[in-house]
């Protein structure tokens, strides 16, 4: 099968028999429902860009399994060039969507699972890597969108999975038989799950032997029996049911259409099982996935920040302050922060190394540093945008008021800025800034790919503080055991 375009992707979703609820209602058709259209549009754009001669070099790759041209989102990194192209691709797409396009989590899950299953097989004599390769080839040949499924509800975070009062707080294996396994539990904050074809289940934390029932990785169709999706709320999401202007980014939405996915005794055949109680490898899979995913943020958040900067420049011009020195200084700082994020993602990619499987892995220290910077820099970029754009981004009347035959003239008159720019343009840009810098986007920047403490743990683990101490001792003339 050739690469899908956006419309073929949308049609492939219509075939699925998804069990989705939103606002307390069962949703029979996600493709044409306004709640889901922006997220589907963003994912569909990744398919269209793979078919665009101007962007296909970034968005496609050659499969190392089949030699065929495939979507980069289904590719296994074969070089540092692949890792760098991934970051460049993410920034390019984010420039066009201004929002999450949802395919990164599955991309990173495939790469992490590919590398870890190889090492499991080498050490344990299992056949998980062979199964993963067969699944991957099907994903590539059919140009499927895979949702990475790592985050469990977790319950009491002070307790390990096997210690929870409710054993379903982490996804677990409840039965094994000749045909496969049956799993139960839930995955939370699932980006793009309701418009994906497959989900790739992974453990969410390192495991002890008592936790082995929770050490599971497998692939499940998003419409498999026993799978239930409960769509999440976002800031101002009901605006999708109203006019175009009030949505801000009306084509592509805010973040990624997250959902809580329930796994009610879901059967998984053995050929789709890639970890089954090998608790010793759960932590490695988590760390590989986390580093791959944290690599992304300087790319995608850099691309989104480009749009925020552009919107802020436009608002300054519409308001007549575009040439003010303090405004230009703040915009310069926004650019500096954005490029700092991007450079970190490029660096962790360029410093990548091959794993035993042959697939390339990012530098985990630099990848975690990128993501930790994102948890700070995006907030500052948004703060500066708010500073320059002004209070109207939070207090504008609705589009219905602007269009109203009696009061619309007052909205038009009193929200006017520089005379050469239409009032509606100023309102549209203010709504875009509100949309892109609101609470949902910031929360995702903070907690997506793990909350800040997770990055700090990984950074300290990779820091080799003992070596740094010895370097200082040598320069200070202090004798050490290291010579």
**Exposure letters 326-356 (e unless 16+ CB within 10 A, then b):** ebeebbeebeebbeebbebbbbbbeebeebe
Using CA atoms, how far residue 372 sits from 87, 127, 299, in Å, is 17, 36, 14
Catalytic, 382? Answer no
Continuous H helices in 180-241 = none
Query: Nearest to residue 98, comparing CAs of 307, 302, 244, 258?
Result: 307
- Which is catalytic among the residues 9, 47, 60, 100? 100
Catalytic, 100? Answer yes
**Residue 440 assigned as binding residue:** no
- Which is catalytic among the residues 300, 342, 360, 437? 300
- Strands of 216-221's sheet in order across: 146-149, 198-201, 216-221, 273-276
Extract the tokens encoding 291: 């580093």
Burial of 112 (0-12, 13-18, 19+ CB in 10 A): buried
- Which is catalytic among the residues 60, 104, 317, 434? 104
Catalytic, 191? Answer yes
Catalytic, 276? Answer no
Catalytic, 81? Answer no
Catalytic, 64? Answer no
Question: Residue 380 in 3-state DSSP?
Answer: helix
Question: Residue 173 in 3-state DSSP?
Answer: strand
- Are the C-beta atoms of residues 258 and 189 closer than 8 Å to each other? yes
Query: Nearest to residue 412, comparing CAs of 403, 420, 465, 330?
Result: 403
- Which is catalytic among the residues 113, 292, 293, 375? 293
Continuous H helices in 243-324 = 282-295, 297-319
DSSP 346-365: HHHHHT-EE-TTS-EE--HH
- Which is catalytic among the residues 297, 318, 342, 360? 297
Q: How far is CA 352 from the centre of its chain?
A: 20
Q: Which residues are annotated as a binding site?
A: 191
Specify binding-site residues for FAD. 191
Active site residues: 100, 104, 191, 258, 293, 297, 300, 444
């Amino acid at each position: 099968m050739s690469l899908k375009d956006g419309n073929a992707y949308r049609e492939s979703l219509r075939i699925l028999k998804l069990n989705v609820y939103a606002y307390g209602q069962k949703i029979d058709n996600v493709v044409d429902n306004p709640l889901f259209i922006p997220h589907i549009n963003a994912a569909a754009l990744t398919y269209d860009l793979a078919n665009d001669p101007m962007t296909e070099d970034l968005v496609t790759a050659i499969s190392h399994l089949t030699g065929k041209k495939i979507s980069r989102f289904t590719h296994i990194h074969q070089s540092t060039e692949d890792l760098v192209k991934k970051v460049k691709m993410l920034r390019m797409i984010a420039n066009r969507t201004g929002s999450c396009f949802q395919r990164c989590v599955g991309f990173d899950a495939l790469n992490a699972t590919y590398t870890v299953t190889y090492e499991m097989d080498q050490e344990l004599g299992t056949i998980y890597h062979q199964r993963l390769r067969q699944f991957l080839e099907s994903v590539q040949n059919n140009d499927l969108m895979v949702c990475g499924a790592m985050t469990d509800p977790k319950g009491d975070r002070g307790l390990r999975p096997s210690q929870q009062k409710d054993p379903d707080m982490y996804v677990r294996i409840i039965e094994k038989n000749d045909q496969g396994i049956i799993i139960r539990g839930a995955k939370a904050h699932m980006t793009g799950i309701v418009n994906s074809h497959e989900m790739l289940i992974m453990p969410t934390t390192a495991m002890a032997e008592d936790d082995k029932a929770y050490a599971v990785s497998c692939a499940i169709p998003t419409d498999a029996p026993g799978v239930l999706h409960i769509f999440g709320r976002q800031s101002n999401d009901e605006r999708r049911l109203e006019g175009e202007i009030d949505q801000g980014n009306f084509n592509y939405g805010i973040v990624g259409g997250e959902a809580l996915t329930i796994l009610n005794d879901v059967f998984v055949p053995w050929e789709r099982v890639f970890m089954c109680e090998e608790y010793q490898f759960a932590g490695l899979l988590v760390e590989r996935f986390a580093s791959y995913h944290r690599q992304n943020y300087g790319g995608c958040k850099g691309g989104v920040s480009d749009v925020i900067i552009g919107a802020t420049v436009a608002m300054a011009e519409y308001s007549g302050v575009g040439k003010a020195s303090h405004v230009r200084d703040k915009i310069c700082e926004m650019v500096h922060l954005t490029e700092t994020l991007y450079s970190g993602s490029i660096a962790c990619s360029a410093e990548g190394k091959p794993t035993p499987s042959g697939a390339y892995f990012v530098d985990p220290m630099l990848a975690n540093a990128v993501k930790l910077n994102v948890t700070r820099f995006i907030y500052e970029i948004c703060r500066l945008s708010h500073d320059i754009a002004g209070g109207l981004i939070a207090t504008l009347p609705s589009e219905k008021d602007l269009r109203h035959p009696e009061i619309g003239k007052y909205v038009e008159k009193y929200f006017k800025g520089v005379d050469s720019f239409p009032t509606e343009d100023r309102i549209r840009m203010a709504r875009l800034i509100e949309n892109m810098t609101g609470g949902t986007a910031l929360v995702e920047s903070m907690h997506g790919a793990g909350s800040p403490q997770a990055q700090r743990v990984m950074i300290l683990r990779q820091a080799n503080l003992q070596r740094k101490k010895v370097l200082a001792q040598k320069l200070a003339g202090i004798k050490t055991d290291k010579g």
